Amino acid sequence: MTQADGTTREVFLMRGLLAAGAVAAGPLAGRALAQSGGGDLAVVRFALLLEQLEVAMFSHGLTLALTPGLKGAAQDLMNDDVVHVTTLEKTIGKLGGTPATAPAFQFAARGEKGFLATAVAIEDLVVSAYNGMAALLKGKGVLRTIGAIAGTEGRHAATIRIGSGLPPTQAAFDPAKTQAEVRSTVSLWLGQ
């Protein structure tokens, strides 16, 4: 049986399980990831969008009344994500593309609690997105770059969770989400 987006029912179910963290993301993660196309350039463009989302999220957070410790952490994380943006823009250029400018993101958080909840959700989402996308890359150089950014995003996710009073890990394995799944969630923060 095939779902509307062309995936088989089995793969669709496995993606859902992976997203819920209910299944150790061992060998099945690969099959769930087999559905995307578009090459390395499409993958890096997608990564750029996520970093733009994070920069926008921290920028928004820094306009709120945050405790000094959190303000400092948000600034540090944002500084890293700005470097991720420029790194990915350079990579897009090397792959023959022109980087897209950031879309208009919107965040509902008005205070520290709301901001932290958003930040945790986005950081965990981005980690899962990198795990999904990195497995699709053909170029080893691009994989090195994406891997290095993914490693930092894992640290960011742990940092913001600890800052929120949450455990630094979600599970023994982070999920590996597809681009379609991630874009669906990212649309929550895309302005009208």
Partner 1 sequence: MSAAATTRRGLLTGGAPVAGLAGILALAGCGGSGAAETTTAAAVPTDAGPGDVGILNYALVLEYIEADFYDRVVTAGALRGQALEFAKTFGDNEQEHVDTLGASARRLGGKVIARPKTRFTLGEPAAVLELAATIENAGAAAYLAQLPRIKDPETLAAVLTIHSVEARHAAAFDILRGGHATNGPLAKPRSASGVLRAVRPFVVS
Position among 8, 75, 79, 184 found at the interface with partner 1 (CB under 8 A)? 79
Tokens describing residue 34? 């087999």
Q: CA dihedral in degrees (104, 105, 109, 114; nearest 10)?
A: -160
> Which residue among 35, 59, 152, 185 contacts partner 1 (CB under 8 A)?
152
> CA–CA separation, 47 vs 146, rounded Å?
8
Q: Min. distance of Cβ 52 from partner 1 in angstroms?
A: 15
From the list 36, 34, 17, 47, the residue with the least C-alpha distance to 173 is 17
- Give the separation between CA 39 and CA 13, rounded to whole angstroms: 25
Does residue number 47 form part of the binding site for partner 1 (CB under 8 A)?
no
Beta strands (DSSP E) in the chain are none
- In contact, 174 and 128? CB cutoff 8 Å: yes
Least separation in angstroms between CB 130 and partner 1: 7
Q: Which stretch in 62-70, 89-97, 99-107, 173-181 sits in contact with partner 1 by CB under 8 A?
A: 173-181
Stretch that binds partner 1, among 7-15, 97-105, 108-116, 156-164 (CB under 8 A): 156-164
- The residues of the shown chain that bind partner 1, judged by CB under 8 A, are 24-31, 33, 76, 79-81, 83-84, 87, 127, 130-131, 134-135, 140, 143-145, 147-159, 162, 167-169, 171-176
